[in-house]
Amino acid sequence: MKGRTKSVGIGIATTVLLAALLIAAAFVPASAAESPNSVSIDDAKTVASFYVQYIPTFIANYSEWQEATVEQTTVYHNLDGKKSAYAFNVIEDAQYAGYILVSATRDNYPILEFSTGRTPNAITELTTRSETMAQERADENGLTAGEVKPLYLGATFYYAEYPLIDDRGEVVDRVVVDLTVPVIVDLDASQVDMPIDEKDLLEQQQMKRQEANALWDALEEKMKTTSLEGPASSRGLGWISGVPAYEWHCGCSPTASGMVLGYWDSHGYSNFPGETTLIEELAVAMGTEWPGNGATWPWDIADGIEEVCENHGYSNFDASNDYWMTWNEVKDEVDASKPFVISMSHGGTGSGQSQPYGDHSVTALGYSDYDEDYVFIHDTWDEQTHTIAFGNWLAAMATWVRP
């Protein structure tokens, strides 16, 4: 139960996600001309080549990438027609070994995704279904679906846009298909009910752009001077020892929260029950749909954690939801040996996994602070430790847990 089936764990409405994308697009001028902050394919390939060599220095699952090369395959665009990302195949011994996605603009983080799997638009089954859906929509209106344009709007937001052409050869409309479902997407922002503050979202997007530009500046400098020899431990690592790895039970949010409390159980708070009972108590306290699909509304996570703590005699625990966590907060929490929960909406693919997390909660227990910022996580899908690039999601909420 991986991918979308399992990662339905935090229950964020699709309308909210789409509204966030449409508001974010408001920053971009209507013209499809290239931005001064655009990244060329050649520069993106240089970045991809650098990271293919860097990633194996701290993620053992990617050791075969150490001698790999990259080949550019797909240019993605956003809703306004601007380039958003470049996909590169990773080639090892003349064989496909995965992909790496580099931003086509300095207004987004340099590395958007990497995986040993394949992007949705490289999977024939998904592209064939999207083409069929687009042509069916065209047929309904006496039109023809034209050549596809791949869209990348953020982690797991892989879309396919088709122009709809009339019998005079003119484009009169368009249809956009979500490749990973697939389903035709309604892009009318006026139909989207958004229960979050628009001003805060816009400010968060602007903050992200400032951080991304700073990362590009730092990356360019370090690519000139940094040797990839030597252990990753010399490159700014933070780690919390003793965080248990629980596999998915009842839902990802109670499972991830259970790992946090399981850590505190072995650090002076031994009244908590064992793994299964603890997770089930958290699921009840958070209102998780169990039995069911395991979905939890993310804003109920903190209250559920505090309720379970109080039930076991620990009224001193403070759990709080932070809807705009920063990289410095992540590092501060890890350095203070306080594991926490990250609830992602449309999260990307973690190291060693073949499918994106989507809407999913994980337990954060470490970080790597280098050219690209990575969070070490237990993701509830197995008992391994994985990494995900900080920001490789549409949005993410931290739940801090502090005794």
Provide the strand spans (E) within 348-390.
Answer: 358-369, 373-378, 386-389
| CA 102 to mean position of chain CA atoms | 14
Block means of pLDDT (10 residues each) for the chain, 403 residues, are 32 42 42 68 93 78 87 92 94 93 90 84 92 95 95 82 95 91 70 53 73 80 63 61 92 97 94 96 95 90 97 96 91 94 91 84 89 86 88 91 95
Q: In this structure, what are the phi and psi dihedrals at residue 97, rounded to the nearest 5 degrees?
A: -125, 5
Fold of 237-402: Cathepsin B; Chain A (3.90.70)
The strand ranges marked E within 281-339 are: 318-322
Strand partners, 398: 322, 342
Q: Residues, the chain, total?
A: 403
Question: Residue 291 — φ and ψ, nearest 5°?
Answer: -60, 145
Question: What pLDDT, on a 0 to 100 scale, did the predictor assign at position 237?
Answer: 74
- SS percent in the chain: helix, strand, coil, step 5: 35, 25, 35
Q: Which residues are within 8 A (CB) of 250 and not within 5 positions of it... i.e. 6 or more apart? A: 279, 280, 282, 283, 288, 290, 294
Torsion angles phi and psi, residue 107, rounded to 5: -85, 5
Cα–Cα distance for residue pair 54/39, rounded to 1 Å? 20
Q: What sign does the CA torsion over 135, 141, 142, 144 have?
A: negative
CA distance 326 to 356: 22
| Alpha carbon 256 to its chain's center | 16
Q: What is the pLDDT of residue 293?
A: 86
The alpha helices in 193-238, defined as continuous H runs, are 198-225
pLDDT for the residue 109:
82
- Residue 328: strand, helix, or coil: helix
pLDDT at 8: 35
CA gap 53, 402 in Å, rounded: 38
Listed by start position, the domains of the chain span: 31-118+197-230, 122-191, 237-402
| Per-residue pLDDT, 228 | 53
Closest CA to 352 of 148, 98, 49, 154: 98
